[in-house]
Amino acid sequence: MSLVHEIDYGTPASKAERTVTLSIDGRPVSVLEGTSVMRAAMDAGIQVPKLCATDMVDAFGSCRLCLVEIAGRPGTPASCTTPVAEGMSVSTQTPRLKQLRRGVMELYISDHPLDCLTCAANGDCELQDMAGAVGLREVRYGYDGANHLKQAKDNSNPYFTFDPAKCILCSRCVRACEEVQGTFALTIEGRGFESKVSPGIGEAFLESECVSCGACVQACPTATLIEKSVIEIGQPEHSVVTTCAYCGVGCNFKAEMRGEELVRMVPFKDGKANRGHSCVKGRFAWGYANHRERILKPMVRERIDQPWREVSWEEAIQRVASEFRRIQGQYGKRSVGGITSSRCTNEETFLVQKLIRAGFGNNNVDTCARVCHSPTGYGLKTAFGTSAGTQDFDSVEQADVVLVIGANPTDGHPVFASRLKKRLRQGAKLVVVDPRRIDLVRMPHVEAAHHLALRPGTNVAVLNALSHVIVTEGLVDEAFVRARCDWDDFSEWASFIAEAQNSPEQVALVSGVPAEAIRAAARLYATGGNAAIYYGLGVTEHSQGSTTVMAIANLAMATGNLGRPGVGVNPLRGQNNVQGACDMGSFPHELSGYRHISDDATRSMFERLWGAPLDNEPGLRIPNMLDAAVDGSFKGIYIQGEDILQSDPNTQHVAAGLAAMECVVVQDLFLNETANYAHVFLPGSTFLEKDGTFTNAERRINRVRKVMTPKNGHADWEITVLIARAMGIVMDYAHPSEVMDEIARLTPTFAGVSYARLDELGSVQWPCNEAKPEGSPIMHIDGFVRGQGKFMITEYVPTDEKSTGRFPLLLTTGRTLSQYNVGAQTRRTDNVVWHQEDRLEIHPHDAEQRGIADGGWVKIASRAGATTLRALLTDRVAPGVVYTTFHHPMTQANVVTTEFSDWATNCPEYKVTAVQVGTSNGPTEWQEQYRDQADRSRRIAIEAAE
C-alpha cells in the first residue's frame, strides 16, 4: 500500500463550457475557457513551480515563482493568475525564468529555518520541493539581518501547531479559511516586513474565531501549520480512502497511516460530498478509537446489579443465542427484538434486521431514525414517492434562494454549511426559520434576508402562511403543478391554504412572527429564482413532524422548485448512516427499499433468498417495545450501536422498560448508559476497523474501508453473523461486499450497486439500477417517483405540550459543532476543550425575572422530570424560549422531554417541552449518583484495558 496522492492543479477548475486551445512548451493543450495557464500546464503534464497557489482556493499571485513567458506579451506574468487564451504560446522553462525563480527561492530560504532534517514536514514540504525544483544551490544572504526566525510557536489548538518562524506569507491559510471554510478567522496583520498571519487580532488559535476545520493546515505548504499527530508519530507511509462516521454529510477522507497507527485524516478532494473539505470532528476527533475506556472483551452478568465478568467471544455469543431462544420458548416468538444503528454500515444494519426477521421470526426491529428523521421518510414518500432528499450537495451552488428551517448547518452539518455560505457570499438569498438566532442569521459576509424566529411548535402554521401568500398573491407555478402534480389534490389544498386561519396575520398571533416578515419571505422564495429548502430535526422532532415535512413538500411543488439543480427539498440527516439505516429495512413495517412487509410479492422474494418464512405483521417500534417490556410481554433485545437510554425521550420510562427485560444485549464501543441495564456486552468496532458503506443525506453510497485490524477481534457485521450462526440461521458471508450483493439482489433502488461499481465511480447516489447505472444526483426530473406529486392538507394542530403557569418556558434542543449526538465519541477526544458541559441558553429578561446569573446553576423541570445545568445568558433565544444541547450524560436533557410524539411515526417531540427554570445549588441527587456510577463504569473499562 502507498499514499494516495491527489494532484494539486494550482487553481480551481473552470466551470465554463467553451474550450480554448493553446500550446505550452510546444505541446498543444485544450482546456475550458477561464482555466489558468498553470492549470492548463498541469493538464499537459507540465508542472510549473508554485508556492502561493493551490487548487482549493482562487489564485493570489503573490510568490512570483510560477512566472512564465507568453509569446507576444511583455514581461513574465504569473501563470496562476493568467487565464488561457486561444492560440496562446507559453514557455515555462527558459533561462530567464529559471534565474528569476532561483532568486525568489533564495529570498524565501534566507528567512526560513534550515532544520529540514528534524522538521515534521520533512518529505511533505512544498518549500523543500520547490527549492529542489528550481535548482537552488546556494543562499547568498546570511541570517544576521532582520528575520522572523525567533517568533513564538502557538500550541493552543489541541490538534495542530502554528510556528510563524516557518511562515512564507503565501496567504494560502487565510484564503482557505475565507473561501473554503467561510469563517474569516485569519488575517495578514501588519505591513511589509512586519506582515504576519494572525488568528483574530493577535489572539491564540484556541481563543480566536477558528473552528478547527483544518482547511488552513491542509493548505499550508510548509510546516507552519501542521497536525500535532504528524509531529508525534512522523510522516504517514500509506493511506486508505474512507468515509467519516460522524454526520450525514458523509465526507470522504484519506486515512493516512504509519504501520498500524493512524497519523491523520486528510479530506479527499475527490470526495463528492465534501470536495476536499472537513470539519473538526471528521478531521481530528478520531482519538476515541484508541481511548482507554473502549471495551475490547465481551462481558456477561446474570443480573444488572452484579459486576461484569469478562468471557470469551464463544461464551458471549452462546449466551446471547441461548437466552433469545429460551425467552422465545417461554414467552413466544414476538417477545424479543432488536435495534439497528445509524452509526453502523448499511451491511451491518441489513444483517441485524435480517437476523430479527428471518432468525427471530418477527418484525420487532427499529432504528434510532425513529427519534430523528422518521417523519422525513413518511412525509416525502407521501408527497413524492421516495423517502429521501431530492438533490445532491453540489446543487446548492445553483440555488438563488435558500430556506433553512429547523436546522443549524454550521454546527450540525458544517461541511455542507461551508458550501452553502460560499453560495450566499456569491449573492444567493437566505431565509432562516428557527426559534433561535443560529449563526447563519448573521456571520461574517453572510446575513439572512429574513429570520422568522417562530415560537417552538408552530412550524406548520408558518409554512402554511408562506403557502397562503403564494396562493393568494398568484405566485403559484401553475404550469408545473398542472404538468407534474395531482390537480384535484392541489385545488383542494389551495382552497384550504387560502383560508383566513392560514393568513400571515392570523399565524403571527400563534407563531410570534410578524405577518410582513412572512409575506416578504414567501415572495422571495416564490420569485427569487431557484429556491431550495434545507431542513433538520427542528422540523421532524415535533408532534406534527410528518405534517411539517408535507407542508415543505407542498411549498416546493406549488412553486415548481423540484426536479432540477438548485432547488429541491433536502433533509439534513443527523447521523452518518441514518439514510442508510432507513433504506436497509430497519423499520418494523418495511423491508429494504421501503417496501411494506405485508406485500406478498416482496416478502416472498426475501423468503426465497433467505430460506425462512417472514411474519407479514409489522413489528413493534422502539417506544412500543419499551411499553411492552413494562407490561411484561417483551423480554429480550439486541441493540447494536445505540444508546437509547440517553438518546430516547423520557429517560425514566426507557430505564423501566430495559430493567423489565430478561436479556438486554448491547454492542458498542464503550459502556454506554444503556449498558447499565445490559446482561451481555459485546464490544463493537470503529469505522476504521471495517469494510462497508454509509449512505449520506444526498442518498450517496460511500465506501467505508478497513484501515486497521479490529481491536476487539471482530467487525460489527461479523458479530451479528456469529449470533445468527449460533441460533442456527444460515449467514455465509466472507466479506461485506457479499452482503451488498444480496442487498442489490433484493432492493430495486440498489440493483446496480456493488463494491466494484463504487470503487469505479467513487460513490453513487441511489436509485442506481439498469435505468440509472451511474446513480441519480437529482430526483424527480421527469416526473415524481409516485407518478403525480401529491399535495396534502396540512392543518396546524397546536401541540398538547403548552407553556402554562407552572411550566411557562418552552425548551428546545440542538447540537454544537465540536460534539456529536450523545457525545460518546467526541467526549473522548480533545474536542472537549470547546464544549465541556451542556449549558442552558436563556434570554437575559427571563433570567433576570428568576434571579439567574450567567454561569449560575439552574434547575430545569418539566412534568416528566428535572435536571440541573449551568445557565448561559444570551439573546440568541427569544424571551419565553430556552435551549440546550444534549452531549453530556450528566445533563441528560431527555429526563425532561415528554412522551409526546409525531402522530404518524412516533418520532419524539424533542423540540418542544414546557419547562420551569429556577436557580439551583448544583447537581440533583440522581446526577450525583450518576456521576458515581459513571466513575465506576470508567474504572471497570480502564482496569479491563490494563
**Contact by Cβ (8 Å): 393, 649:** no
Binding partner of residue 454 among ligand SF4, ligand FES, none, CB cut-off 5 to 8 Å per kind: none
**Contact by Cβ (8 Å): 11, 39:** yes
Q: How far is the CB of 573 from ligand SF4 (least distance, A)?
A: 10
Q: How far is the CB of 381 from ligand FES (least distance, A)?
A: 51
Alpha-carbon distance of 215 to 283, in angstroms, equals: 10
HEC profile of 177-219: HHHHHCCCCEEEECCHHHCEEEECCCCCHHHCCCCCCCHHHHH
Helix, strand, coil percentages in the chain from 3-state DSSP, rounded to 5:
35, 20, 45
Interface pick for ligand SF4 out of 210, 311, 317, 549 (rule CB under 6 A): 210
- Is residue 172 within the footprint of ligand SF4 (CB under 6 A)? yes
- Is residue 158 within the footprint of ligand SF4 (CB under 6 A)? no
- Is residue 420 within the footprint of ligand SF4 (CB under 6 A)? no
Binding partner of residue 185 among ligand SF4, ligand FES, none, CB cut-off 5 to 8 Å per kind: ligand SF4
Binding partner of residue 53 among ligand SF4, ligand FES, none, CB cut-off 5 to 8 Å per kind: ligand FES
Angle among Cα 424, 425, 426 to the nearest 5 degrees reads 85
Interface pick for ligand FES out of 24, 68, 70, 80 (rule CB under 6 A): 80
Q: How far is the CB of 583 from ligand SF4 (least distance, A)?
A: 18
Binding partner of residue 226 among ligand FES, ligand SF4, none, CB cut-off 5 to 8 Å per kind: none
Quote the cell numbers at residue 325: 431462544
Q: How far is the CB of 222 from ligand FES (least distance, A)?
A: 14
CA dihedral 73, 76, 80, 81 (to 10 degrees): -60
Give 488's contacts (C-beta < 8 A, 6+ positions apart). none
* Segment lying near ligand SF4 (by CB under 6 A), choices 167-175, 591-599, 903-911, 913-921: 167-175
* Segment lying near ligand FES (by CB under 6 A), choices 55-63, 390-398, 678-686, 874-882: 55-63
Q: Taking CB under 6 A as the rule, which mask of x and - marks residues 397-416 in contact with ligand SF4?
A: ----------------xxx-
Q: What residues numbered 245-274 form the site for ligand SF4, per CB under 6 A?
A: 246-247, 249-251, 274
125/660 with CB nearer ligand SF4: 125
Interface pick for ligand FES out of 64, 711, 725, 876 (rule CB under 6 A): 64
- Is residue 215 within the footprint of ligand SF4 (CB under 6 A)? yes
* Segment lying near ligand SF4 (by CB under 6 A), choices 138-146, 241-249, 528-536, 580-588: 241-249
Binding partner of residue 211 among ligand FES, ligand SF4, none, CB cut-off 5 to 8 Å per kind: ligand SF4
Beta bridge partners of 884: 813, 840
- Is residue 186 within the footprint of ligand SF4 (CB under 6 A)? yes
- Is residue 701 within the footprint of ligand SF4 (CB under 6 A)? no
- Is residue 63 within the footprint of ligand FES (CB under 6 A)? yes
Interface pick for ligand SF4 out of 88, 216, 230, 597 (rule CB under 6 A): 216
Alpha-carbon distance of 460 to 462, in angstroms, equals: 5
Alpha-carbon distance of 712 to 695, in angstroms, equals: 25
Q: How many CA atoms lie within 13 A of 386 on its CB side?
A: 22
Interface pick for ligand SF4 out of 185, 399, 463, 476 (rule CB under 6 A): 185
Give 293's contacts (C-beta < 8 A, 6+ positions apart). 670, 671, 828, 938, 941, 942, 945
Residue 709's CB is within 10 A of a number of other CB atoms, namely 12
Q: Is the dihedral of CA 734, 244, 438, 806 positive or negative?
A: positive
Alpha-carbon distance of 619 to 639, in angstroms, equals: 16
Binding partner of residue 786 among ligand FES, ligand SF4, none, CB cut-off 5 to 8 Å per kind: none
78/792 with CB nearer ligand FES: 78
Binding partner of residue 80 among ligand SF4, ligand FES, none, CB cut-off 5 to 8 Å per kind: ligand FES
153/482 with CB nearer ligand SF4: 153
Quote the cell numbers at residue 383: 408527497
* Segment lying near ligand SF4 (by CB under 6 A), choices 173-181, 389-397, 635-643, 822-830: 173-181
183/554 with CB nearer ligand SF4: 183
Q: Which candidate, 573, 539, 578, places its Cα nearest to that of 249?
A: 573
**Contact by Cβ (8 Å): 57, 220:** no
Q: How far is the CB of 166 from ligand FES (least distance, A)?
A: 17
Q: Which candidate, 334, 357, 339, 328, places its Cα nearest to that of 678?
A: 339
Q: How far is the CB of 480 from ligand SF4 (least distance, A)?
A: 33
Which residues in 424-437 are b (16+ Cβ under 10 Å) and which e?
beeebbbbbbbbbb
- Is residue 173 within the footprint of ligand SF4 (CB under 6 A)? yes
Interface pick for ligand FES out of 23, 47, 62, 501 (rule CB under 6 A): 62
Q: How far is the CB of 170 from ligand SF4 (least distance, A)?
A: 4
**Contact by Cβ (8 Å): 86, 21:** yes
Q: Which candidate, 286, 410, 415, places its Cα nearest to that of 830?
A: 286
Task: List, as own/partner pairs, every contact residues 132-135 make where C-beta atoms lie below 8 angstroms and the sequence separation is at least 24, other chains included.
Answer: 133/47, 133/49, 134/49, 134/65, 134/98, 134/101, 134/102, 134/104, 134/105, 135/98, 135/102
- Is residue 895 within the footprint of ligand FES (CB under 6 A)? no
Interface pick for ligand FES out of 40, 41, 53, 369 (rule CB under 6 A): 53
Interface pick for ligand FES out of 52, 68, 88, 746 (rule CB under 6 A): 52
Question: In Å, how far from its chain's centre is CA 933?
Answer: 31
* Segment lying near ligand FES (by CB under 6 A), choices 60-68, 358-366, 663-671, 891-899: 60-68
Q: How far is the CB of 78 from ligand FES (least distance, A)?
A: 4
CA dihedral 624, 799, 549, 525 (to 10 degrees): -170
- Is residue 168 within the footprint of ligand SF4 (CB under 6 A)? yes
Residue 307 DSSP symbol: P
CA dihedral 634, 638, 641, 644 (to 10 degrees): 10
Angle between helices 126-133 and 95-110 (to 10 degrees): 140
84/388 with CB nearer ligand FES: 84
Interface pick for ligand FES out of 51, 119, 448, 723 (rule CB under 6 A): 51
Binding partner of residue 62 among ligand FES, ligand SF4, none, CB cut-off 5 to 8 Å per kind: ligand FES
How far are the Cα atoms of 3, 161, 238, 287, 745 from residue 229, in angstroms, in the given order?
Answer: 17, 10, 15, 10, 43
**Contact by Cβ (8 Å): 940, 841:** no
Q: Is the dihedral of CA 71, 77, 80, 81 positive or negative?
A: negative
* Segment lying near ligand FES (by CB under 6 A), choices 44-52, 199-207, 273-281, 499-507: 44-52
| DSSP-assigned letters across all residues of 860-885 | EE-SS-EEEEEEEE-TTBPTTEEEEE
Q: 763-765 and 809-814 as β-strands: parallel, antiparallel, unpaired?
A: unpaired
Alpha-carbon distance of 128 to 174, in angstroms, equals: 21
- Is residue 50 within the footprint of ligand FES (CB under 6 A)? yes
Tell me the number of residues near ligand SF4 by CB under 6 A: 42
- Is residue 65 within the footprint of ligand FES (CB under 6 A)? yes
Interface pick for ligand SF4 out of 37, 66, 121, 167 (rule CB under 6 A): 167
Angle between helices 313-331 and 716-726 (to 10 degrees): 50
* Segment lying near ligand SF4 (by CB under 6 A), choices 96-104, 222-230, 435-443, 524-532: 222-230
- Is residue 224 within the footprint of ligand SF4 (CB under 6 A)? yes
* Segment lying near ligand FES (by CB under 6 A), choices 48-56, 271-279, 289-297, 435-443: 48-56
Give the footprint of ligand SF4 on this chain (CB under 6 A): 167-173, 176-177, 181, 183, 185-186, 197, 199, 210-216, 219-222, 224-225, 244, 246-247, 249-251, 274, 278-279, 281-282, 413-415
Q: Which residues bind ligand FES (CB under 6 A)?
A: 50-53, 61-66, 78, 80
